[in-house]
């Protein structure tokens, strides 16, 4: 069974006197452990799709299932619990807390969302920081590290709760080519080791070269689906 399933999903935004149809009937399925990207220009509906899968917004019409649960019917508390136990987020601008150290930024969701005991928290955090190459920077603050290092911390924070799905909105937009490649390599390694499903929203060729499936989104519709096989597409 697919981990994520969307059935004829529409999203209509009312902006004063104007109605904007961001999604016009999206149906797709994403398997567990996939490395997937939504590609398209600004305004095509990529971020709207991520927000709906994250239960941050609700469709105007259609059904959304994650791990067999119909999340579009969730109330606010159910949506918050779903995000805290099932999802990780990697933001374009990192969204690290400047007053917390690298270690504390990664620790935050384990305290605030999952209430994980201290020793277990420490083990999880130290292991992940080592995997993303940030263990030696654990006591520094976000203002003391580079953009690429911040993104590594954001990855660790997204993965520390052992989510089934990681949603990444333009995660390489602020990174140079070499750093972006390294970050994507870390994500792929995590996917292979842990089985996490990664879903990107991007038009960055660096990500598109790495993912296994590319959904092209145009004007609120799926315009194409490319499946990578041995570096080629079909």
Query: What's the confidence (pLDDT) of residue 37?
Result: 95
**Greatest alpha-carbon span in the chain:** 55
pTM of the entire predicted model: 0.86
Reduced to 3 states (helix: H, G, I; strand: E, B; else coil), residue 149 is helix
Angstrom distance (rounded) from CA 234 to CA 156 = 33
Angstrom distance (rounded) from CA 151 to CA 216 = 25
Query: What's the confidence (pLDDT) of residue 233?
Result: 56
Query: What's the confidence (pLDDT) of residue 201?
Result: 92
Put the strands of the sheet holding 18-30 in their side by side order.
18-30, 4-15, 61-66, 69-70
Angstrom distance (rounded) from CA 206 to CA 192 = 19
Which domains, ranges and CATH numbers included, belong to the chain?
A: 4-233 (3.40.50.300)
Query: What's the confidence (pLDDT) of residue 220?
Result: 94
Looking at the chain, list the stretches that DSSP marks H as alpha helix, in order from N- to C-terminal side. Answer: 46-53, 76-86, 102-112, 118-131, 147-159, 177-194, 205-208
Reduced to 3 states (helix: H, G, I; strand: E, B; else coil), residue 53 is helix
Question: Helices 147-159 and 102-112 sit at what angle, rounded to 10 degrees?
Answer: 20
Tens of pLDDT, residue by residue, the chain (234 residues): 689 999 999 999 988 788 899 999 999 999 999 999 999 888 899 989 999 999 999 999 999 999 999 999 999 999 988 998 899 988 878 889 999 999 999 999 999 877 889 999 999 999 989 988 899 999 999 999 998 899 889 989 998 988 999 999 888 877 778 777 877 888 888 888 888 899 999 888 888 888 999 999 999 999 999 997 654 555
């Amino acid at each position: 069974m697919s981990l994520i399933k969307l059935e004829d999903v529409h999203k209509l935004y009312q902006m004063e006197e104007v109605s904007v149809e961001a999604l016009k009937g999206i149906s797709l399925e994403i398997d567990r452990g996939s490395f997937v990207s939504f590609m398209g220009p600004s305004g095509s509906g990529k971020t709207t799709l991520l927000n709906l899968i994250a239960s941050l917004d609700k469709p105007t019409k259609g059904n959304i299932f994650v791990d067999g649960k119909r999340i579009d019917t969730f109330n606010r508390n159910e949506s918050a619990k779903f995000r805290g136990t099932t999802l990780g987020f990697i933001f374009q601008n990192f969204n690290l807390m400047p007053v917390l150290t690298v270690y504390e930024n990664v620790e935050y969701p384990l305290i605030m969302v999952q209430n994980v005991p201290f020793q277990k928290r420490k083990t999880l955090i130290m292991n992940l920081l080592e995997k993303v190459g940030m263990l030696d920077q654990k006591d520094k603050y976000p203002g003391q590290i580079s953009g690429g290092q911040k993104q590594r911390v954001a990855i660790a924070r997204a993965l520390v709760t052992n989510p089934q799905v990681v949603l990444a909105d333009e995660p390489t937009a602020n990174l140079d080519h070499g750093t972006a490649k390294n970050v994507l390599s870390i994500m792929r390694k995590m996917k292979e080791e842990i089985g996490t499903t990664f879903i990107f929203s991007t038009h960055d060729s660096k990500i598109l070269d790495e993912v296994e499936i590319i959904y092209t989104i145009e004007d609120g519709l799926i315009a194409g689906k490319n499946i990578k096989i041995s570096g080629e597409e079909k």
